[in-house]
């Protein structure tokens, strides 16, 4: 469970706006931006492009909220780049501009506790893997201090909701600005609650 803890640090190759870069790190956003970091299983698959393209379509909304979006999978930076330049009609994600991190060593996924499969040593001393070691659909909201404030992990067949990610950013920022907590289904502009019995009573009376 990473909630309330420092987001695991990493430095890795990535593709940003169609270009391969080295030494990409979330440290560049500390004190500056909120981060939505999401993991996905594989490039050139079926559910994954719907998510990546969906986050790209909503990128302006995240930017309004001072939030950057970063994707990550266990594919290489070269696979990311090839996917980014492949037209969408051919299964690509052409036009995705936010960073896609290459977790080729699988250490980032492991540190964020989203790595599927299990490595073990058999009775002959050979390293084995039970299942395929790729990332589940993990999503993490990291605040400007580098603290994980929200996380959700879906199994591979289950796509996520971009609107829910935006709602979580709104809720965190509302709490930070006003000190009010956000109840079930809260949306930006809704009444929130002060963390006291009186606040609960006032909310329920509306």
Q: How far apart are CA 7 and CA 23, in angstroms?
A: 17
> CB count, 10 Å around CB of 84?
22
Q: How far apart are CA 190 and CA 69, in angstroms?
A: 25
- What is the enclosing helix (H) or strand (E) of 82? helix 77-85
Q: Are 169 and 163 in contact (CB under 8 A)?
A: no
Q: Is 48 a catalytic residue?
A: yes
Q: Are 6 and 146 in contact (CB under 8 A)?
A: yes
Q: Choosing from 48, 72, 84, 182, which is the catalytic residue?
A: 48
> 3-class SS at 101?
strand
Active site residues: 48
């Amino acid at each position: 469970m990473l909630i309330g803890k420092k987001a695991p640090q990493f430095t890795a190759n990535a593709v940003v706006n169609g270009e391969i870069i080295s030494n990409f790190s979330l440290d560049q956003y500390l004190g500056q931006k909120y981060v939505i970091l999401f993991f996905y299983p594989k490039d050139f698959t079926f559910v994954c492009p719907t998510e990546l393209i969906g986050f790209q379509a909503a990128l302006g909304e995240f930017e309004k909220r001072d939030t950057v979006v970063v994707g990550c999978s266990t594919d290489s930076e070269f696979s990311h780049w090839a996917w980014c330049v492949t037209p969408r009609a051919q299964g690509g994600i052409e036009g995705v501009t936010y960073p896609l991190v290459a977790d080729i060593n699988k250490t980032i996924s492991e540190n964020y506790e989203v790595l599927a499969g299990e490595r073990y040593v058999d009775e002959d001393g050979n390293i084995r893997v039970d299942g395929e070691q790729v990332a589940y659909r993990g999503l993490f909201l990291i605040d400007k201090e580098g603290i994980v404030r929200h996380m959700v992990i879906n199994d591979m067949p289950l796509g996520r909701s971009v609107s829910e990610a935006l709602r979580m950013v709104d809720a965190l920022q509302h709490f930070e600005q006003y000190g009010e907590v956000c109840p079930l289904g809260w949306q930006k502009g809704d009444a929130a609650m002060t963390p006291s019995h009186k606040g609960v009573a006032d909310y329920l009376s509306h």
